[in-house]
Amino acid sequence: MSLLKITSLKTWFPTRDGIVKAVNAVDLEIGDKEKLGLIGETGSGKTILGMTIIRLLQPSTKIEGEIWYKGKDLLKLCEEEMRKIRGKKIAMILQNPTTSLNPVLKIGDQIAEAIQLHQGLNKKEAKEKAIEMLEAVRIPSPEKMANEYPHEFSGGMKERAMIAMALACDPSLIIADEPTKGLDVTIKMQIIKLMKEVTARKSMLFITHDLGAAAEICDNIAVMYAGELVEYAKTEDIFKNPMHPYTQGFLNSLPRMGLKPIRGMSPSLIDLPNGCRFHPRCDHAEEICKNRHPEMAEIEKGHHVRCFLYT
Amino acid sequence: MNRNLIAFLKEYRNSMPGLIGLGIMVFFIVPAIFAPCITPYDPHQMYKPLEHPNTNHLLGTNDIGQDILSELIYGSRVSLFIAFFVSIVSAIIGTALGMLSGYFERVGFFIMRIVDAFLAIPRLPLIIVIAAFLRPSIWNLIFIFVLFGWPFTARIIRSEVLSLRNRPYVDAARMLGAHDFYILGRHILPNVVPLIIVQLIIEARHVILAESGLSFLGLGDPTAKSWGMILHYAFEYPTIFISEIWKWWMLPPGLCITFTILSLTFISYSLEELINPRLRGVTRV
Amino acid sequence: MHRITKIISYIALIILILSFNFFLPRVMPGDPLSFLTGNPTMDMPIVLDEEMRAKLLTYYGLDKPLQQQFYDYMLGILHGDLGWSIYFGAPVSEIVIGGLKWTLLLVGTATAIYMALGILLGAISAWNRGGKRDVELLTFVLSISSFPSFFLGMLFIILLGVNLSFFPISGAQTPFAEYSTPFEAAWDTFRHLLLPAMTLVIAHIGGIYLLMRNSMLNVIGEDYILTARAKGLSERYIMHKHAMKNALLPIITMIALRAGFMISGTIFVETVFAYPGVGRLLYDAVTYRDYPLLQGAFLIITLVIITANFVADMTYAHLDPRVKHE
């Protein structure tokens, strides 16, 4: 039974230079207590996908498709109804905790306000709960830290605070956008371990370009390129048997695999290549790849690929 | 460089307030330039005083019998000339000193201390006091305004130059052996031009306001009456508020000043929008 | 460390102003004697015989060496001696202090109003950026702020003051009024404040409005606003709790500069409404070429503005939690 089901999602931005097609016909499902990793390079559209789910984009954005959550299509809800879901049922941990925390408000208050709003507690109770949350994310001396401002926190602690904010109202789905970006290796591992613990009974969409982090936490992995999914499989299958040339290239670019980069540059989302979006950079490209757009197909059990090598 | 200019003009065409502002400014500048051809009378010539508007004097006459309409048109010459002359000279001096202080550290330090001093002292009371000590003449006023106008531009140009100085093409030019003044003229100046123009308009706006204010207080040149001076004499006339005469003696110069300021405000607002994209998106046509 | 340098520069500034005041009449073309004694017009030099002239020179200390004059002058300032007003026939310091209280009342009232209004309108405009409300507000505020304050004042007098007896058209209080209760006095003062204050507010609101709008627009673009939205907080709550505080920070320093403009702008408004503040005194001094009064009024006005700047400078550090912790 899936908690979140995304059908044919399109997110397009009209700009002066053309239409930026950030998300193109994406289908995705996240089950109860499932952790899904969304892998891709910068500019693949993965952050936009996350923001589309929680509808944090500008009103001028063109969004098509359906996002089913507990029997409701999120895209059809009005802003008021959506606000009741944000933070409470679906929470998003935004990128870059340094700029995502309000510098003039205390950390404790920033956590407590969501609690006050969604759970109807009064100020005092909400503050206590916020301190509990800080404790849950392993921040030392939580009572003291709750009264501090963001600039007092280190990078890793800020990330923990963001996690605490997301968990505060006990949502059933967490969208985490690059939670390990820019952190030291040791801190990274701590954050990953923490996230594994605190999201044990929740679903999570784990957006990252760090395959290692995804491998630790996620049950399944979806690979995104130029606004669409190109591969989807169980975590171990992606590593054991990466099918799409892009996924293979991605794995090869990891430090422990030799740091081999994928040739070429990521495509402009305004001027997408014809046919398969990856063909200009693909070593296996054929004639058909330049002209026809491949569809997502289930090649092995639970393993989907969008590539003419297999279809 | 030309391409940028054309693109810029195209953008400007899309900005509603910019166009309105420009239109109003043209409306005032044209009569100012052609004043001798279109004014009905010599503004200094005296006729029957305190006449109501009639076919001979469209805006009536003032308390010593001068035709108000002619005063008004010649007044536009004075007000606009002072405003633009001052802003252009301030812009030149301010840009020159701003570029020098942004580019050369030590010179910059001294110039900036002077700029800081100027900026810290409240401008208007100082201008009033100095003007009161000097003879009331156009050139004295211009001198004072320029003296206190250039620091604003200098500071803004300097910060821009500070950031431009570290751009890669400047380093590249230096490595090729170009000497400093060449770099300043060829690489830095063109990038600073939009800023200069915006500052020029803003300064012109300040000057019109300040000059009409000073003239209103009585510090203007009585032989070359600006709009502010006309208002000064109107205000001094004892029954100005009670009789009808304010309608054609006080209202027209006041409105002229207001609309000129309005046009400069709109123009500078559009220019700033064009330069700083973050403020965009409000006044697209 | 930073604080001390700031204080020193302010003191240096004050000394600069005082010196300027000292040198101005001695440097200007013309007879310094006429500047110190006051002279209806500079075109007609005082016709004095040599004896009279020598007596006056001694009286004003103009025959002493420059350093001595400067020292005496500074000492005089510290004792509150600003010279003698020809027009009023009284010590300048008395007259100026008397006028100061009215000016502060007017400027204080107007500042409170236009700050609150400007900040509110700026925030609303920014929040509705590009929308109908924003464009309307923008056009309206930009347009009315193009009216020079003295012209606006005159219009108010004609349109409101002359026709409606509720608005008096001059002075700070009704002349020769006898008040039976302090409330009556306050009410009368209030009525006299209305038009001048309104004029000041309208003439100056444009500046703060635009500053607030810009500042707010910058804040709205920040990531933490997105975070607040992601938590499901309402737009209104976000604007008040998250955006305002951040948007107001840079405004605080601006307030001081704005106060400076307003005090300067008061010169015109007081003149038009014959409101007995220091601005009006400056005008009188200019009209009657009463140089001692002119310099005294100038000094007080400038010092008040600099003090306002100083206060704002010091409070800014206090308000920003990031700066506080340095």
* Bridge pairing between strands A35-39 and A18-31: unpaired
- Whether residue B281 has pLDDT greater than 50: no
Q: Which of A217, A218, A105, A82 is nearest to A153 (CA)?
A: A105
Q: Look at chain B and report how many structural domains it folds into.
A: 1
Identify whether B145 is part of a domain.
Answer: yes
Confidence (pLDDT) at C250: 80
Residue A163 CA: distances (Å) to CA of A138, B20, B174, B272, C226: 11, 52, 50, 40, 15
Q: Look at chain A and report how many structural domains it folds into.
A: 1
Contacts of C251 (CB under 8 A, 6+ apart): C119, C208, C211, C212, C215
| Beta-carbon separation of C321 and A84 below 8 A | no
* Bridge pairing between strands A35-39 and A203-208: parallel
Percent of chain B residues topping a pLDDT of 70: 95
- Whether residue A222 has pLDDT greater than 90: yes
Lowest mean pLDDT among B138-142, B167-171, B280-284, C320-324: B280-284
In the beta sheet, which residues pair with residue C53? none
Residue B207 contacts residue B83 (beta carbons within 8 Å): yes
Percent of chain A residues topping a pLDDT of 70: 100
Identify whether A281 is part of a domain.
Answer: yes
Helix H or strand E segment including A91: strand A90-93
- Whether residue C315 has pLDDT greater than 80: no
Identify whether A135 is part of a domain.
Answer: no
DSSP B204-273: HHHHHHHHHHHHHHT-S-TTS--HHHHHHHHHHSTTTTTSTTHHHHTHHHHHHHHHHHHHHHHHHHHHHH
Q: Alpha-carbon distance C68 to A237, whole Å?
A: 95
Confidence (pLDDT) at C200: 93
Look up the domain containing B150 and give its range.
Answer: 2-43+57-284
Identify whether B50 is part of a domain.
Answer: no
For residue C91, give how far its alpha carbon lies from the nearest alpha carbon of chain B (Å): 19
Q: Alpha-carbon distance B188 to B182, whole Å?
A: 9
Confidence (pLDDT) at A11: 93
C26 Cβ under 8 Å from any chain A Cβ: no
C240 Cβ under 8 Å from any chain A Cβ: no
Residues C166-185, mean pLDDT to the nearest whole number? 72
Chain C contact set for B281 (CB, 8 A): 129-130
Residue B253 CA: distances (Å) to CA of A175, A186, A275, B243: 64, 74, 69, 18
Helix H or strand E segment including A64: strand A62-69
Q: Which residue has the higher pLDDT, B11 or C280?
A: C280
Q: Which residue has the higher pLDDT, C60 or C114?
A: C114
The residue ranges of DSSP E strands in chain B, in sequence order, are none
For residue A98, give how far its alpha carbon lies from the nearest alpha carbon of chain C (Å): 9
End-to-end CA gap in chain A? 29
Identify whether B49 is part of a domain.
Answer: no
Residue A185 CA: distances (Å) to CA of A139, A206, C18, C152: 18, 18, 62, 66
Confidence (pLDDT) at C150: 93
Confidence (pLDDT) at C318: 67
- Whether residue A52 has pLDDT greater than 90: yes
Identify whether B81 is part of a domain.
Answer: yes
Residue C42 banded pLDDT, cuts 50, 70, 90: very low
Confidence (pLDDT) at B207: 94
- Whether residue C284 has pLDDT greater than 70: yes
Chain C contact set for B265 (CB, 8 A): 142, 145-146
How much is the mean pLDDT over chain C? 81
Least CB-CB distance to C231: which of A87, A95, A96? Answer: A87
Identify whether A161 is part of a domain.
Answer: no
Per-residue pLDDT tens over the stretch B68-80: 888 899 999 999 9
Chain C contact set for A105 (CB, 8 A): 241-242, 245
Least CB-CB distance to A87: which of C224, C232, C242? Answer: C232
How much is the mean pLDDT over chain B? 85
Look up the domain containing A74 and give its range.
Answer: 2-83+207-310
Whole-model pTM: value is: 0.79
Per-residue pLDDT tens over the stretch C227-257: 999 998 998 899 888 998 888 888 876 776 6
| Tokens matching residue C252 | 């605080």
Residue A192 contacts residue A204 (beta carbons within 8 Å): no
Q: Which residue has the higher pLDDT, B6 or B221?
A: B221
A148 Cβ under 8 Å from any chain C Cβ: no
Residue B282 banded pLDDT, cuts 50, 70, 90: very low
Residue B142 banded pLDDT, cuts 50, 70, 90: very high
Identify whether A172 is part of a domain.
Answer: no
Residue C220 contacts residue C235 (beta carbons within 8 Å): no
Q: Which residue has the higher pLDDT, B11 or C219?
A: C219
Question: Can you tell me which residue has the tokens 């206190």?
Answer: B148
| Beta-carbon separation of A103 and C230 below 8 A | no
Q: Alpha-carbon distance B227 to B232, whole Å?
A: 9
Residue B49 CA: distances (Å) to CA of B63, B65, B67, B70: 5, 4, 9, 14
| C219, C222, C226, C227, best to mutate vs chain A, most A CBs in 10 Å | C227
Q: Alpha-carbon distance A263 to A251, whole Å?
A: 14
Lowest mean pLDDT among A52-61, B125-134, C8-17, C34-43: C34-43
Residues A228-241, mean pLDDT to the nearest whole number? 92
End-to-end CA gap in chain B? 26
Q: Alpha-carbon distance C227 to C243, whole Å?
A: 12
b/e burial code for range C275-314 (CB count within 10 A of at least 16 → b) = bbbbbbbbbbbbebbbbbbbbbbbbbbbebbbebbbebbe
| Beta-carbon separation of B121 and C302 below 8 A | yes
Q: Alpha-carbon distance A259 to A256, whole Å?
A: 7
Residue B80 contacts residue B24 (beta carbons within 8 Å): no
| Beta-carbon separation of A84 and C232 below 8 A | yes
Question: Can you tell me which residue has the tokens 């812009």?
Answer: B91
Confidence (pLDDT) at C324: 53
Q: Alpha-carbon distance A121 to A88, whole Å?
A: 14
Residue B95 CA: distances (Å) to CA of A202, B141, B154, B184, C313: 61, 21, 6, 11, 28
Confidence (pLDDT) at B279: 42
Question: Can you tell me which residue has the tokens 């009556």?
Answer: C184
Chain A contact set for C227 (CB, 8 A): 94, 100-102, 162, 165
C69 Cβ under 8 Å from any chain B Cβ: no
Identify whether B93 is part of a domain.
Answer: yes
Residue C281 contacts residue C287 (beta carbons within 8 Å): no
Any idea what the CATH number is for the domain that residue B139 is in?
Answer: 1.10.3720.10
Residue C195 contacts residue C169 (beta carbons within 8 Å): yes
Residues A169-195, mean pLDDT to the nearest whole number? 91
Chain C contact set for B28 (CB, 8 A): none
DSSP B66: B
Q: Which amino acid is at B124?
A: L
Percent of chain A residues topping a pLDDT of 90: 49
C150 Cβ under 8 Å from any chain B Cβ: yes
Least CB-CB distance to C230: which of A86, A102, A113? Answer: A86
Any idea what the CATH number is for the domain that residue A244 is in?
Answer: 3.40.50.300
Per-residue pLDDT tens over the stretch B91-106: 999 999 988 888 888 8
Rounded to 5°, the CA angle B136-B139-B145 comes to 95
- Whether residue B283 has pLDDT greater than 60: no
| Beta-carbon separation of C285 and B254 below 8 A | no
Confidence (pLDDT) at B284: 33
Residue C43 banded pLDDT, cuts 50, 70, 90: very low
Alpha carbon C42 to its chain centroid, in Å, reads: 29
- Whether residue A91 has pLDDT greater than 90: yes
Residue C142 banded pLDDT, cuts 50, 70, 90: confident
Q: Which amino acid is at A264?
A: G
Confidence (pLDDT) at B78: 92
- Whether residue A51 has pLDDT greater than 90: yes
Chain C contact set for A95 (CB, 8 A): 223
Lowest mean pLDDT among B145-149, C33-37, C232-236, C242-246: C33-37
Identify whether A116 is part of a domain.
Answer: no
Identify whether A167 is part of a domain.
Answer: no
Contacts made by residues C317-325, CB under 8 angstroms, sequence distance 24+: C317/C3, C319/C249, C319/C252, C320/A104, C320/C249, C321/A103, C321/A104, C321/A149, C321/A151, C322/A103, C322/A149, C322/A151, C325/A151, C325/A152
